[in-house]
Amino acid sequence: MVDKCEKCGCEAGCKCCEVAVQTANVKLDVVERVIRSAALKRRNVATREARNAVKENRAASKQTGKSSDGRCRLLYLNQSYERFS
C-alpha cells in the first residue's frame, strides 16, 4: 500500500511532502536550539550564583577570622603547617 500525500493526494515523496518535511525539521531545530539555550542560561546562572557565594564566604571569613563552617582560619592554617613540616 502506497502512502498518499495529505496535501495533494499523490504518492508520498512529492515536492509538497519534501517541503513539509524540511519545514518540520527546521521547526524542530529551532525548538532544540531554544531548549539548549535555556539550559545553558540556567547553568550560567547557577555558576554565577555559586561564584558569588564563594566570594561572599571569603569576604565574611576575612572579616570574622572564621570560615563559614565556624572553624578558625588560624587553627586550620596551623594544622596545615604541622602536617607539611
> Domain of 59?
15-84
Residues 29-81 have pLDDT tens digits of 888 888 889 998 989 888 898 888 888 888 777 766 555 555 555 555 555 55
Q: Is residue 40 one of the residues assigned to a domain?
A: yes
Q: Is residue 8 one of the residues assigned to a domain?
A: no
**Total residue length of the chain:** 85
Q: Is residue 74 one of the residues assigned to a domain?
A: yes
Q: How far is CA 82 from the centre of its chain?
A: 41
User: Which range among 17-21, 24-28, 34-38, 78-82 shows the weakest confidence by mean pLDDT?
Assistant: 78-82
Q: Is residue 3 one of the residues assigned to a domain?
A: no
Q: How many separate domains does the chain show? A: 1
Phi first, then psi, for residue 11 (nearest 5°) are -65, 145
Report the pLDDT value the prediction gives residue 80, as an integer from 0 to 100. Answer: 52
On whether the pTM is more than 0.75, the answer is no
Q: Is residue 2 one of the residues assigned to a domain?
A: no
CA pair distance 29, 23, nearest whole angstrom: 10
